[in-house]
Amino acid sequence: MSVSGTSEVNRFIAGHTPSPETRPNVNLSDCPSRLVLEHVTSRWGVLVLAALLERSYRFSELRREISGVSEKMLAQTLQTLERDGFVHRDAKPVIPPRVDYSLTALGRQAAEQVWALARWAEGSLPEVFAARSAYDGVRV
Amino acid sequence: MSVSGTSEVNRFIAGHTPSPETRPNVNLSDCPSRLVLEHVTSRWGVLVLAALLERSYRFSELRREISGVSEKMLAQTLQTLERDGFVHRDAKPVIPPRVDYSLTALGRQAAEQVWALARWAEGSLPEVFAARSAYDGVRV
DNA sequence: CAGAATCCGTACCGATACTG
DNA sequence: CAGTATCGGTACGGATTCTG
């Protein structure tokens, strides 16, 4: 197996590089899955997907639910997830505006995957903390 | 469900905040799993775990295997994963030095989890790319 | 060979102010 | 209410140099 990760690679695969023959010599044929992973496993991406897994939310509801997220990052995260086809954005033409966010079928798959990973991570916390203590104790 | 994510929160849980009574008012009782996730789902963390899933590697082998990673980031990633108890570091006292990296039992669990996620992500690439094209097409 | 240390650009991210 | 625009600090990460 051979894996790679370069920003040029990402841009190439994303389709923004016009001429395929100018592709760098790195083996970018492997692991383009990072292009998806880095969005669904991003700091706020995980939390947004987890929240939407149980029900749909309005923008301000999400902002309250996910404590600590700024408007900017929430909007940015939602746009990225919408662009990737994970989140459906339903903007009702009313005043004041009302926008509901929900998971698409694909998004539900993603959410369940990362949720499973998060559950495992939560379960392994004791072991991880123990390992960190041991490591730090020795290194001092 | 309520999720949170603040750097202060992370520092608190990590055990670097001496006085627990100075804890911020955010609800940090939820989702500390991010403390583990951000390491195993990091850019190079995923690739390192994936590589070590099939066999153990030496430092320079890993560096070649994961094209695009700098020495600094590979060393840093390996140290983080070792500290969390996912990677075992076996430094042989020879000259020139030889260091073998392998997965611990816990690390194998982590690797299999992220690998499953990566496999799903790879499979969903066509749908994601299609969604991106549709989104970008409309937005132009 | 396996790293540690340093320098430094940049991209991320939060805070703030503004808009429809 | 649901964002966008702008600014600025910071931390991430790459390139280079040095060491046991």
pLDDT digits (tens, 9 = 90+) for B41-90: 999 999 999 999 999 999 999 999 999 999 999 999 999 999 999 999 99
pLDDT digits (tens, 9 = 90+) for A81-127: 999 999 999 999 999 999 999 999 999 999 999 999 999 999 999 99
- Do A63 and A123 lie in one domain? The reply is yes
Interchain pair A128, B106: CB under 8 A:
yes
- Distance, in Å, from the CA atom of B110 to the CA atom of A94, rounded to the nearest integer, reads 46
- Do A3 and A65 lie in one domain? The reply is no
- Do B77 and B133 lie in one domain? The reply is yes
pLDDT number for residue B137? 86
- Do B34 and B103 lie in one domain? The reply is no
Query: Which nucleotides in chain C lie less than 7 Å from some protein C-beta?
Result: 1-6, 13-17, 20
Count how many Cα atoms sit within 13 Å of the Cα of residue B113 in the half-sphere of its side chain: 26
Best-predicted range by mean pLDDT (A26-30, A64-68, B53-57) = B53-57
pLDDT digits (tens, 9 = 90+) for B98-119: 999 999 999 999 999 999 999 9
- Do A5 and A30 lie in one domain? The reply is yes
- Do B48 and B113 lie in one domain? The reply is yes
- Do A26 and A79 lie in one domain? The reply is no
Identify whether the C-beta of residue B85 lies closer than 8 Å to the C-beta of residue B67.
no
Residue A114: which CATH number?
Answer: 1.10.10.10
The more confidently predicted of residues B4 and A36 is A36
Q: How far is A59 from chain B (nearest CA, A)?
A: 15
CA-to-C1' distance for A62 and C14, Å?
18
With tokens 């994510």, the residue in question is: B5
CA-to-C1' distance for A83 and D17, Å?
43
Local confidence band at B130 (pLDDT 50, 70, 90 cut-offs): very high
- Do A15 and A82 lie in one domain? The reply is no
Count how many Cα atoms sit within 13 Å of the Cα of residue B89 in the half-sphere of its side chain: 16
- Do A81 and A13 lie in one domain? The reply is no
Q: Which nucleotide is nearest to A77 (CA to C1')?
A: C13
What is the arithmetic mean of pLDDT over B25-41?
71
Q: Which domain holds residue A20?
A: 1-40
Number of domains observed in the structure of chain A: 2
In this structure, is the CB of residue B112 within 7 Å of any atom belonging to strand D? no
- Do A36 and A74 lie in one domain? The reply is no
B69 Cβ contact list (under 8 Å, min separation 6): A5, B44, B47, B62, B63, B77
CA-to-C1' distance for B120 and C15, Å?
37
- Do B32 and B83 lie in one domain? The reply is no
